Amino acid sequence: MINVFVRVIKTIGDEVFQLEKFSLKGKVSEQEWQARVDLAACYRLVAEHRWGDLIYTHLSARVPNTEHYLVNAFGLTFDEVTASNLVKVDLQGNVLDGSPYQINPAGFTIHSAIHEVRHDAQCVIHLHTKATIAVATVQGGLKPWSQYAMFSLSSLSYHGYEGLAVDEAEKARLQTDLGQTNHMLLHNHGGLTLGATVGDAFMRFYDLQRACEIQMELLKSGQDVIEIPQGIVDGIYAQANIVHSGETGGQKAWPAMLRRAYKLDPTFCE
């Protein structure tokens, strides 16, 4: 049996176990390369936190000063994403610049809808974590039960489930539901955050994920919960803008996250 397995591995090894390696460093603008490095690091961090969903779900980033976007190659796991194998597409999902990879068009539908109307957002993160699906599915959604929830509740929207995200007509409804918020729970589906930088989007998803995890733990405990008063919730928005953007948010936290990704596996920036 072992010999048969070895022969099978030798037969399919080159096709299945070897990724095409190439580098775009020095072949794209410095701004695009930095966007690629940041987004690839974000994919690796999502993998490390076990927020991924095999080869599904997506993080996207706008190439600065363009209407082009970076997204993962369909078929790669998040810990295989590198700066160079990210795929550049337009808003219609057409692959640009001769990438050897393709994308999941259905997966890009949500991202294209948001990038189309939210020009303030460089990065969009959409994931199917257990915690965000659970909270998005219970009546009442996210509750003001923890400090982490405060950051999300200050800028949170919801979108109803309409099946697999392949219907172009859904995009307008998603855009309307999102409005100017930076966090979204998609009923029965998962969570979404966006930010002016990859770091801001990542920190927002971290907060949303933690808030959902804590809420589900409290629900499992069956204990009475001390709810944060609405007056405090209402006053959090200005505080959240200070804590998780600018010098005390993505700009400070993201370099540390980049260092963490590099320690895990430096190949993300190839």
Residue 129: both structure tokens together: 């974590």
pLDDT over threshold 60, residue 5: no
Which residue type does 219 have?
Answer: L
| Confidence tier at 269 by pLDDT (50, 70, 90) | confident
Per-residue pLDDT reduced to its tens digit, 151-201: 899 899 999 888 776 677 788 899 999 999 999 999 999 999 999 999 999
Residue located via tokens 């309307």: 176
- Do residues 198 and 206 touch, judged by C-beta distance below 8 A? no
Domains and CATH numbers, the chain: 30-269 (3.40.225.10)
Q: Which residues are within 8 A (CB) of 12 and not within 5 positions of it... i.e. 6 or more apart?
A: none
Task: State residue 8's pLDDT score.
Answer: 39
- Do residues 73 and 87 touch, judged by C-beta distance below 8 A? yes
Per-residue pLDDT reduced to its tens digit, 75-115: 899 999 999 999 999 988 889 987 888 888 877 888 999 99
Percent of the chain with pLDDT over 70: 87
pTM of the shown model? 0.87
